[in-house]
Amino acid sequence: MKSSLLLSLRLSLCCSLSLLIAQTSHSEETLPVDNEAVVKQLQQEFQGSYPETAPPSNKVHSRELVAAEAEWGILPPYQTSVWAYNGKIAPVIRINLGETLKLTLHNKLPQATTIHWHGVRLPNAMDGVPGVTQSAIEPSASFTYEFTPKDAGTFWFHPHANSPEQIERGLQGILIVENPDEPKYSQDLAWIVDDWLLEKGAKIHDRFVTGHDLMHDGRWGNVVTVNGLYRPSIPVKPGERIRIRMVNSANGRVFAPAVEEIEAKIIAVDGLPARQPIPLQNFYLAPGNRIDLDLTIPKNAAGKTFAVLDNFGKKANTLAMLQVEDTTAVTTPTFKPTQAMHFPDWQSANDAPVTHEFMLNAMRGGEHGITWTIDDHSGHDTIALELQAQSFYRLRFTNRSYRLHPMHLHGQFFQVIAVDGRPVREGFWRDTVLIGPKQSVDIGLVPIDKGLWALHCHILEHAEAGMMSTIRVQ
């Protein structure tokens, strides 16, 4: 098995050479368009897409979070020793838009940690990236994060230090920023979807960042859970309209969520409302991605069970069961789901020049034996790109390897505008986009928030072995 993996890696290395040659001869072409005018137009269309500041409120939510070892029943009757925030897998913090979160993290772990607020637009110093925005919080030390999120939506928080081990052991939670003006669902559920690599007795396999993980798409577990529970039953009532906020917190696994027999719509992606609801169908929820689903339990479904599935692999995984109570139906709330307040058309996005093409690849060597690279560099000590706030950029990710790379940009949202050169209109913003084997993806981005922001693959082993860089927004 090992040798064939090595072979595919080697293949990807030599293929990248021929690609390089092909690319140079192509890059000569000049576009018969006025670049400056196109970019200006795109910038104008962007105006008003998302708020530059949150509506001020004077409320401060003070929280204490202790990161420490805990016991958790992933597969009862077994108890698994995990690392958790306040002893809980997938704790949820809810605040209202405009409110300030002031959260002190106490590190009771045997190693240094931080918290990154994935997808939240916040001051750069609160972004939680050791060596980039703060120093790591040493064992027994504390650190206070304080910020006012600018967007309402579903966000994720997790360590950004030794992530392949810390996130895998269970450190992760959901931050929900609610907009009090939004209509209320019958139930508003927050689900962290994850997988665990468990051994006999439900013990966490404790070798991390292995050569196997690095040659593949990171560490894929053998037990898939929702909020740290294997196939939980979620009680619902007939007629209820439910919002499910789903976060993929796996180290490497991609999910393709589906709900049995019930039509579900995606109303938000990576926190922000979509232009309009999108039927849930083959959506690849890569590590770091979130989707908010809107679904209604049929009025005549009393006593029934609906499975929520993951159809990414050949064999479906059951994520959870929606267990409909045997009661009379409740009144279904009727309202239009929240939509993006403004969504740019960006028809001419693919006429803009590509400002930068990020080359994603691997090479042999380095601390782990394999190094994953962005533009032939590894690690965030290099700044890949300098950008001006409020300007439109078209950027390209080109995957020269045969592995998956969900690329995540901190502090910004972007739109996918082309895949393999073909224009694409997804109708929503993202902070993480999955780049398939040998695929190239173009994004349109208007950076708003200034600072030094991490850009990395969210397959945690790939990031740990080098697929990590930064972008400076000025």
Residues near ligand C2O, by CB under 6 A: 116, 118, 158, 160, 288, 408, 410, 454, 456, 458
CB of 467 to ligand C2O, least distance (A): 11
**Which of ligand C2O, Cu ion, none lies near 136, with the C-beta cut-off 5 to 8 A by kind?**
none
Residue of this chain nearest to ligand C2O (CB atom) = 118
Strand order across the 100-107 sheet: 80-85, 60-72, 100-107, 142-147
Between residues 118 and 430, which has the closer beta carbon with respect to ligand C2O? Answer: 118
Element (H, E) at 282: none
58: Cβ contacts below 8 Å, ≥ 6 apart: none
How many C-beta atoms lie closer than 10 Å to residue 33's C-beta? 12
Strand pairing report for 80-85 and 100-107: unpaired
φ, ψ of residue 344 in degrees (nearest 5): -70, 145
Q: DSSP label at 134?
A: B
Between residues 301 and 467, which has the closer beta carbon with respect to ligand C2O? Answer: 467
The stretch among 72-80, 84-92, 275-283, 460-468 that binds Cu ion (CB under 5 A) is: 460-468
Token match 């533009």: residue?
Answer: 375
**Which of Cu ion, ligand C2O, none lies near 253, with the C-beta cut-off 5 to 8 A by kind?**
none
φ, ψ of residue 31 in degrees (nearest 5): -85, 140
CB of 116 to ligand C2O, least distance (A): 5
Question: ∠ CA 136-110-192 to the nearest 5 degrees?
Answer: 75
Between residues 109 and 434, which has the closer beta carbon with respect to Cu ion? Answer: 434
**Which of ligand C2O, Cu ion, none lies near 160, with the C-beta cut-off 5 to 8 A by kind?**
ligand C2O
Element (H, E) at 442: strand 440-445
**Which of Cu ion, ligand C2O, none lies near 118, with the C-beta cut-off 5 to 8 A by kind?**
ligand C2O
What part of residues 402-421 is at the interface with Cu ion (CB under 5 A)? 405
Please tell me the chain's helix, strand, coil percentages from 3-state DSSP, rounded to the nearest 5. 15, 40, 45
**Which of ligand C2O, Cu ion, none lies near 237, with the C-beta cut-off 5 to 8 A by kind?**
none
Between residues 227 and 399, which has the closer beta carbon with respect to Cu ion? Answer: 399
**Whole-angstrom Cα distance, residue 106 to residue 109?**
9
CB of 71 to Cu ion, least distance (A): 32
Between residues 296 and 371, which has the closer beta carbon with respect to Cu ion? Answer: 371
Q: How many residues bind Cu ion (CB under 5 A)?
A: 4
Between residues 322 and 459, which has the closer beta carbon with respect to Cu ion? Answer: 459
Tokens of 58: 């004077």
Nearest CA to 395 among 441, 345, 331?
A: 441
Nearest CA to 307 among 224, 201, 388, 378?
A: 224
Element (H, E) at 68: strand 60-72
Task: Report whether 411 contacts 149 (CB < 8 A).
Answer: no
CB of 439 to ligand C2O, least distance (A): 21
For Cu ion, the binding residue among 116, 126, 462, 466 (CB under 5 A) is 462
**Which of ligand C2O, Cu ion, none lies near 121, with the C-beta cut-off 5 to 8 A by kind?**
none
CA 136, 140, 141, 143 torsion-angle sign: positive
**Which of Cu ion, ligand C2O, none lies near 462, with the C-beta cut-off 5 to 8 A by kind?**
Cu ion
Cα Dmax for the chain:
68
CB of 408 to ligand C2O, least distance (A): 5
* Interaction of residue 434 with Cu ion, rule CB under 5 A: no
Task: Report whether 349 contacts 42 (CB < 8 A).
Answer: yes
**Whole-angstrom Cα distance, residue 401 to residue 117?**
29
**Which of Cu ion, ligand C2O, none lies near 459, with the C-beta cut-off 5 to 8 A by kind?**
Cu ion
CB of 270 to Cu ion, least distance (A): 18
**Which of ligand C2O, Cu ion, none lies near 457, with the C-beta cut-off 5 to 8 A by kind?**
Cu ion
**Which of Cu ion, ligand C2O, none lies near 285, with the C-beta cut-off 5 to 8 A by kind?**
none
CB of 224 to ligand C2O, least distance (A): 19
AA identity, residue 421: G
* Interaction of residue 459 with Cu ion, rule CB under 5 A: yes
CB of 275 to Cu ion, least distance (A): 28
Between residues 273 and 288, which has the closer beta carbon with respect to ligand C2O? Answer: 288
Question: Which residues here bind Cu ion, judged by CB under 5 A?
Answer: 405, 457, 459, 462
